[in-house]
């Protein structure tokens, strides 16, 4: 039986040892990538920052966060996530906050609680379990306050461990990777428009102006089925920049984002500079006409003392069974 969790409290990590029984990845780790926690993955340094601006809206229903941990043995883990709430003024704000809390708390707790150190940490499991925790938070609040029924959030969360990036996403928040002068979109929108594109029923140049452009098919909400959780896994190279953003940002940034990111490439960027960059990017999206909340989280990979590995991008599906 699961513990009763009150999302309005701030308990210690020791009270949240959630690891879902039977949580096993259905695919093996791809060849050519170091296993999480291996010596090869530890000599990689990251900087992270996050920014969320209200913009012209009456309230900010977005949330963004970024956190870097240095564990014993000089192992670094970086977390970054962006959530875009749904469910009205107060419901959307609360949903985004609870969604990020669930993912971040689960990731941190799993990273620090293992007696064997980071060797036992599985980012894909932490992300999927974090989504479940966020869902439990939403269910708890909805049960106590029926006015919040139907609230939820789109969410993209990432964990960088050494030279690997692990990503989970629901809805239309996006993760892009800036690498070698190229901007790659690693996530796929869970939306009606994306489904129409997949079925070749819509031209790409029609997507933005489509009347259903803002309708998502998945989100972190009470009724969402999270039994199967897809996690994207990608190798990282020195100088790579990870960009997670809400639709209030990415819809207005395609034309100028590569030019701005190019200025970060090849420079020694600390977290203060990265925060300045995140704030400047968010403000520019508003200047370019965004009429929404604008949120962005950045991770920048620093120098590595080991030879870079070939780029591989895979999708792993993790099945989570309900605890009996």
Q: Would you say 66 and 48 are in contact if contact means Cβ atoms under 8 Å apart?
A: yes
pLDDT at 319: 56
Asked if residue 129 belongs to a domain, the reply is: yes
Helix and strand counts by DSSP (H, E) for the chain: 6, 13
Comparing CA positions, the residue from 158, 191, 193, 152 lying closest to residue 172 is 191
Nearest to 86, CA basis, from 156, 5, 148, 8: 148
- Residue 315: what pLDDT? 61
> Structurally, how many domains does the chain consist of?
1
What strands, in cross-sheet order, belong to the sheet with 182-185?
44-53, 294-304, 241-245, 174-179, 182-185
11 lies in some domain = no
Can you give the pLDDT of all 324 residues of the chain as single tens digits? Answer: 344 445 544 333 323 222 222 222 222 233 333 333 343 444 467 899 999 999 999 999 999 999 998 877 777 899 999 999 998 768 999 999 999 999 999 999 988 876 455 677 899 999 999 999 999 999 999 999 988 988 999 999 999 998 899 999 999 999 999 998 999 999 999 989 888 988 888 888 888 778 887 889 999 999 999 988 889 999 999 889 999 999 999 999 988 999 888 877 656 668 888 999 999 999 999 999 999 999 999 999 876 444 444 445 556 665 554 443
- Classify residue 25: in a domain, yes or no: no
- Is residue 164 domain-resident? yes
Which pLDDT score, from 0 to 100, does residue 5 have? 45
Cα(239)–Cα(299) distance, rounded to whole angstroms?
10
CA–CA distance, 312 with 32 (Å, rounded to integer): 8
Residue 128 lies in a domain: yes
Within 8 A by CB and 6+ apart from 9, the residues are none
What pLDDT sits at residue 19?
27
With CA atoms as reference, report the closest residue to 241 among 29, 80, 54: 80
Looking at residue 316, what is its pLDDT? 61
Domain for residue 149, yes or no?
yes
Task: Show the domain range for 234.
Answer: 31-319
pTM score, two decimals?
0.81
pLDDT at 144: 92
- CATH number assigned to the domain comprising residue 279: 3.60.40.10
pLDDT digits 0-9 by tens, 62-83: 999 999 988 777 778 999 999 9
DSSP state of 203: -
């Amino acid at each position: 039986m699961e513990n009763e969790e009150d999302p309005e409290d701030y308990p210690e990590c020791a009270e949240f040892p959630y690891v879902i029984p039977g949580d096993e990845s259905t695919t093996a780790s791809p060849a050519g990538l170091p296993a999480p926690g291996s010596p090869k993955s530890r000599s990689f340094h990251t900087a992270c920052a996050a920014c969320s601006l209200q913009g012209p809206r009456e309230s900010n229903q977005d949330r963004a966060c970024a956190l870097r941990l240095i564990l014993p043995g000089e192992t670094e883990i970086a977390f970054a996530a962006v959530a875009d709430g749904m469910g009205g003024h107060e419901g959307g704000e609360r949903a985004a906050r609870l969604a990020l809390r669930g993912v971040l708390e689960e990731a941190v707790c799993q990273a620090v609680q293992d007696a064997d150190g980071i060797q036992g940490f599985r980012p894909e499991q932490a992300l999927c379990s974090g989504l479940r925790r966020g869902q439990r938070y939403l269910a708890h609040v909805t049960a106590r306050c029926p006015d919040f029924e139907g609230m939820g959030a789109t969410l993209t969360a990432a964990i960088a461990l050494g030279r690997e990036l692990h990503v989970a996403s629901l809805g239309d928040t996006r993760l892009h990777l800036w690498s070698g002068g190229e901007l790659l979109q690693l996530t796929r929108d869970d939306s009606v428009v994306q489904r129409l594109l997949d079925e070749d029923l819509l031209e790409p140049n029609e997507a933005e102006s489509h009347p259903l452009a803002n309708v998502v098919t998945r989100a972190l909400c009470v009724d969402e089925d999270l039994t199967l959780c897809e996690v994207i896994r990608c190798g990282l190279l020195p100088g790579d920049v990870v960009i997670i953003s809400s639709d209030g940002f990415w819809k207005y940034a395609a034309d100028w984002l590569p030019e701005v990111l190019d200025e970060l490439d090849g420079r020694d960027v600390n977290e203060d500079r990265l925060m300045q960059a995140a704030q400047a990017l968010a403000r520019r999206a508003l200047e370019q006409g965004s009429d929404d909340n604008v949120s962005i989280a950045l991770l920048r990979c620093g120098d590595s003392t080991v030879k870079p590995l070939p780029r591989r991008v895979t999708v792993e599906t993790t099945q989570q069974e309900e605890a009996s």
